[in-house]
Amino acid sequence: MPSDFTLTGGLPSPKSHTSFPFLALGVTVLLYPLLTHARRRFGVTAETCLCVGGATVEVVPEACSAVTLQRVEQLSIQVGDVVTCRNRYQGKMFEINAGPTLDRLHYVSAGMVSFARGLNDTPKIAALLVLAPAIGQFGSVALVGAAIAVGGIISSRRVAETMSQKITAMNHGQGFTANFITSLIVIGASRLGLPVSTTHVNCGSLFGIGSVTRQANWSMIGRILGAWLVTLPLGAALGALFYWLVSGLG
């Protein structure tokens, strides 16, 4: 959930930046078709591998359409095992194999998103801890950064599975695009001192990918948007309640 505070002259001031997920959606809808067009102009084609485990059984030129899914069912019966679809790219750009390169760039873009999250999320809570003189500014940032890292290790798996698998089907190129756009927007917002939600921005990018490819899971997207509508006022209400309780104790 995006923070409603940013530091201005050492004091928190209210700000609202809930439009950033829609900015990410719009940028993705505009940029991804351009990248797809450029890829095709360079002669890089997309194909779908029908695989059993790590072994390729058959290769088809199109993504997982209804015909391809029917072929998957047929092959599953023939080989007696589960056959899965895996999209990949074939061809070269500037004498570099596109498929393996995009696979690696996907990892790089995931690292960029992780950096952007730490850059933007850590100061949100650290801004509150800075009020404790015993901790200090550096200690607050270090403590919150460690807490975010531990929380991510312990509790982030379900969120990661939803974002990577349940919003829209993606190949490595589409995942790279979503991550790249997310990292640019969040890092840009951080440079401007604007607190945003990295998860919300990333979801906006994924919504854009799903809209362009027509593979969006609109049921899941509806549930996510519903959660956003609930958490924002709920967070405000709980913040007001605990402030009232703390003020009463003081």
Place of tokens 């700000």: 15
Count of the separate structural domains present in the chain: 2
Residues 79 and 154 in one domain: no
pLDDT band at 127 (very low <50, low <70, confident <90, very high): low
Please give the structure tokens belonging to residue 22: 């829609």
Please give the structure tokens belonging to residue 158: 């379900």
Place of tokens 């799903």: 210
Q: Which amino acid is at 95?
A: E
CB atoms within 10 A of CB 167: 23
CB atoms within 10 A of CB 34: 9
Residues 35 and 52 in one domain: no
Residues 180 and 56 in one domain: no
CB atoms within 10 A of CB 136: 12
Higher pLDDT pick, 34 / 71: 34
CA-nearest of 207, 209, 173, 213 to 91 is 173
pLDDT band at 250 (very low <50, low <70, confident <90, very high): low
Please give the structure tokens belonging to residue 120: 């933007």
Structural domain including 196 reads 5-39+98-249
Residues 108 and 230 in one domain: yes
Residues 224 and 126 in one domain: yes
- pTM equals 0.73
Place of tokens 């997982």: 64
pLDDT digits (tens, 9 = 90+) for 87-124: 777 777 777 887 788 888 888 999 999 899 888 887 77
Residues 130 and 177 in one domain: yes
Residues 105 and 84 in one domain: no
Residues 125 and 202 in one domain: yes
Does residue 146 surpass a pLDDT of 90?
A: no
Does residue 5 surpass a pLDDT of 70?
A: no
Give, in order, the Cα–Cα distances in Å from 136 to each of 13, 16, 132: 20, 27, 7
**Which secondary-structure segment (H or E) carries 48?**
strand 45-52
Residues 27 and 67 in one domain: no
Residues 216 and 125 in one domain: yes
pLDDT digits (tens, 9 = 90+) for 193-248: 888 889 899 999 999 999 998 889 999 999 999 988 888 888 889 889 988 888 87
